[in-house]
Amino acid sequence: MIRKIYIKSLLFLIAMVMFGCDDYLNIPLEADISEEQVFGSYSSFQGFQDQLVRNLVDYNRHGARVTHSIGGEALSPRGQSVYGGNIGDYFYLLLNRGIYAVDEREAFKAGLYSHFFENVRITNVCLEKLESGYLVDATDDQRDWLKGQALFFRAYYHYEIVRAFGTIPYLDTVFTSENQNMKRHWTYEKGGKTYRDVQAVFEKIVEDFDEAATLLPDVWPSPNINWGRPTSLAALGFKAKALQFSASPLFNEQANGVLDYDKDMLDRCAVACDEAIQLAKALIGTQPPGMPVMNADGLTNFADFRTAFATFDGTQPGTPEVLFHRPTDIYGANIVRQSEARNYAVNQLTGEKAAQGSQMYLDKFEMKDGSRYDIAYDTDPVKRWDSRDNRFDFTFYFHGDVIHNITLNLSTAGLNADGALNSNAIRKFMADGVTKDNVGAATYSTPLLRLADIYLTYAEAVYESTGSYTTVPAGLSMTAEDAVNVVRRRAGQPDAAVVLPFYVNNPQPGSCELADDPAFRLLYRNERAVEMAYEGVYWFDIRRWKRAHLKDGVQLTAMNFDLLGNSQAIDNSTVKRVNKLAFVFKEPHYWMPFETKITRFTTDWEQNPGW
């Protein structure tokens, strides 16, 4: 696998990092390895470049008690990233909790944004060395693959930063102490249009993803060796996502002062989504042996859906629907009892206490008939948990669920004894039947991009550009409604036409929805929250729509109940919602704060407003 290929170049990379920026490529004598050796053959060059794969961060497993569920979708004890995010303490996340801070332990690697400069420099070194003449032992295809990966990762790491922090320079050359163009605010002229700040960054990202898509393979040969490397489809998918962010109200406002969608960007986004979807359909049947087959839309069948997130037999999680994620190399007890348990857990199940879903986020999951959940259903033993969207049970465990030899007690007394905050356990990343007592070779991985997201991104782009969910734009293949239905049908939920009446003038209380939102907007945005729950998507969505502040001060709630006598049966007369924490989101929270040392790097790099 990738891990074995990169070892040959590890000493070289360590030497580069140790000797800092000025001497980044001045190899010390004790390294006993030359640039010709590192960059002279495809295998050694690829080994060096594979640091970019290993430096990827899984949103839900890159540090102790660290997850990207910081938009109010979860509740956790103090001292965990969910809690820090919910109270708006982003500096705490920056400096203490691994999402943003460096954690050099091999098991968790580092924070999500900690190695941005290192990673981007590696990509630019690779692109420079491909032009140096060092690479003599490689086919034309292999040269393309190396270049395609470098472009992909340069775009990807910029994409991660700009989505959270806002405008940054686009680092597309190997800087030296004498040559540093690091202006944070800039414009980019192309095709008679001027792109400003964040949209300039996204435009460069789009260009790199676009070129990467022409160079990378649709399907890598030798899937065991090349597992986890980006493909042309991943590049096209991220191109579409970059355009989605660039078009969204928050980013359009930052670039142009207009708090609305950029419709030209939306149209380009829809085209990019369609291109990715058509390629995904063309690749049906090319999955590696043993991997679940796809349905006609390129999605994983619901019966096999867990494989996209978790496995129990020592195999890598993932299906062709997962366009990109970090390969995992940790299995068993370290995952179930430590990494995963420290993010989403109840002590009974995993031996750790961590985050549960907040009750209002659970309300987003529809009833089986597509109607919206009503708080009055809390005391109804059937409607509360049993008559819900199939993704409800897929995403959560509830009181009385039996997993291996454990029966969950999530009553008020059980929660108090367990140190848990709400009456559910997030199940999405747990292989079926796995507990702290039955770890086996279980593991999990959070998708960094799924095809389902591309369908829903298409729906948003077409609807917000045309104002219609029944129109097929010229040159494209489906309506916004069609795209939403693809995702809903996989889960067994009724089509949009059936459920839209349930959404008319029916925003969810305490959410980021507005009474005057059109029904289809409420539907596709709710669908995104349900389909991609706890995959590190929700916080980005409510920010890019510039709706997150609507939740400021809203109480995040839990469901409490007592049991009947000594039984495990719920006393439905005691079921009630309990306020746990007021969510905090002010105007400054739309942009993450930079570490102070970054703002001192150049006079142009000011701290984000309010920090």
pLDDT tens, residue by residue, 404-443: 999 999 999 999 999 999 999 999 999 999 999 999 999 9
Is 55 strand, coil or helix?
Answer: coil
Q: Which residue has the tokens 């995904």?
A: 280
Taken in order of first residue, the domains within the chain and their CATH numbers are 2-62+112-283+320-324 (1.25.40.390)
Q: pLDDT at residue 567 above 80?
A: yes
Cβ pair 504, 477 in contact under 8 A: no
Per-residue model confidence as pLDDT tens digits over 372-411? 999 999 999 999 999 999 999 999 999 999 999 999 999 9
User: What's the pLDDT score for residue 31?
Assistant: 58
Confidence of residue 61 (pLDDT cuts 50, 70, 90): confident
Alpha helices in 216-368 (DSSP H): 223-226, 232-247, 249-256, 263-282, 333, 347-350, 359-362
Tell me the pLDDT of the chain averaged across its residues.
91
Q: What does the DSSP 8-state code read for residue 327? A: -
Q: What is the token pair recorded at 248?
A: 């969204």
Q: What does the DSSP 8-state code read for residue 505? A: T
Rounded Cα distance, 487 and 313, in Å: 28
Rounded Cα distance, 31 and 301, in Å: 50
User: What's the pLDDT score for residue 342?
Assistant: 82
Confidence of residue 73 (pLDDT cuts 50, 70, 90): very high
Q: What is the token pair recorded at 207?
A: 């260009």
Q: How far is CA 31 from CA 6, 16, 49, 130, 358, in A?
A: 16, 10, 18, 22, 52
Between 224 and 202, the more confident residue is 202
User: What's the pLDDT score for residue 98?
Assistant: 58
Rounded Cα distance, 370 and 166, in Å: 37
Tell me what percent of the residues of the chain surpass a pLDDT of 90. Answer: 79
How far out from the chain centre does Cα 409 lie?
Answer: 31
Rounded Cα distance, 333 and 341, in Å: 10
Cβ pair 561, 579 in contact under 8 A: no
Confidence of residue 286 (pLDDT cuts 50, 70, 90): very high
Per-residue model confidence as pLDDT tens digits over 585-608? 999 999 999 988 888 877 788 999
Is 252 strand, coil or helix?
Answer: helix
Cβ pair 156, 201 in contact under 8 A: no
Can you tell me the mean pLDDT for 309-314? 95
User: What's the pLDDT score for residue 599?
Assistant: 85
Letter for the amino acid at 546? K
Q: What is the token pair recorded at 33?
A: 């390895």
Rounded Cα distance, 529 and 549, in Å: 17
User: What's the pLDDT score for residue 106?
Assistant: 42
Per-residue model confidence as pLDDT tens digits over 139-169? 999 999 999 999 999 999 999 999 999 999 9
Cβ pair 76, 354 in contact under 8 A: yes
Rounded Cα distance, 231 and 599, in Å: 35
Residue whose C-alpha is closest to residue 207's, from 182, 184, 239:
239
β-strand partners of 406 = 403
Rounded Cα distance, 28 and 25, in Å: 9
Letter for the amino acid at 160? E
Rounded Cα distance, 426 and 444, in Å: 13
Rounded Cα distance, 355 and 344, in Å: 5
Q: pLDDT at residue 9 above 50?
A: no
Helix axes 519-531, 451-466, angle to 10 degrees: 170
- Residue 609 neighbours by CB under 8 Å, 6+ apart: 587, 588, 591
Burial class (CB in 10 A: 0-12, 13-18, 19+), 192: exposed
Rounded Cα distance, 417 and 355, in Å: 15
Rounded Cα distance, 58 and 75, in Å: 20
Burial 341-360 (b: 16+ CB within 10 A, else e): bbbbbbbbbbbbbbbbbbbb
Q: pLDDT at residue 250 above 90?
A: yes
Per-residue model confidence as pLDDT tens digits over 526-546? 999 999 999 999 999 999 999
pTM: 0.94
Rounded Cα distance, 102 and 99, in Å: 8
Q: What is the token pair recorded at 392?
A: 């409800």
Number of neighbouring beta carbons within 10 Å of residue 135: 19
Burial class (CB in 10 A: 0-12, 13-18, 19+), 333: middle
Q: pLDDT at residue 64 above 90?
A: no
User: What's the pLDDT score for residue 63?
Assistant: 62
Confidence of residue 224 (pLDDT cuts 50, 70, 90): confident
Alpha helices in 193-258 (DSSP H): 197-215, 223-226, 232-247, 249-256
Q: pLDDT at residue 1 above 90?
A: no
Q: pLDDT at residue 360 above 90?
A: yes
Rounded Cα distance, 349 and 254, in Å: 44
Question: What's 360-385 look like in SS3?
Answer: HHHCCCCECCCCCCCHHHHHCCCCCC
Is 290 strand, coil or helix?
Answer: coil
Confidence of residue 99 (pLDDT cuts 50, 70, 90): low
Confidence of residue 93 (pLDDT cuts 50, 70, 90): confident
Can you tell me the mean pLDDT for 283-298? 94
Can you tell me the mean pLDDT for 510-523? 96
Between 319 and 1, the more confident residue is 319
Cβ pair 487, 455 in contact under 8 A: yes
Burial class (CB in 10 A: 0-12, 13-18, 19+), 300: buried
Cβ pair 112, 62 in contact under 8 A: yes
Q: Which residue has the tokens 């460096």?
A: 102
Rounded Cα distance, 351 and 49, in Å: 38
Confidence of residue 19 (pLDDT cuts 50, 70, 90): very low
Q: pLDDT at residue 466 above 50?
A: yes
User: What's the pLDDT score for residue 57?
Assistant: 87
Least confident of 4-13, 26-35, 244-253: 4-13
Can you tell me the mean pLDDT for 239-243? 99
End-to-end CA distance of the chain: 43
Residue whose C-alpha is closest to residue 195's, from 271, 247, 154:
247
Cβ pair 477, 277 in contact under 8 A: yes
- State the Cα angle at 577 between 561 and 585, rounded to 5°: 140
- Residue 178 neighbours by CB under 8 Å, 6+ apart: none
Is 396 strand, coil or helix?
Answer: strand
Q: pLDDT at residue 107 above 50?
A: no
Residue whose C-alpha is closest to residue 543's, from 271, 324, 253, 272:
253
Rounded Cα distance, 441 and 444, in Å: 10
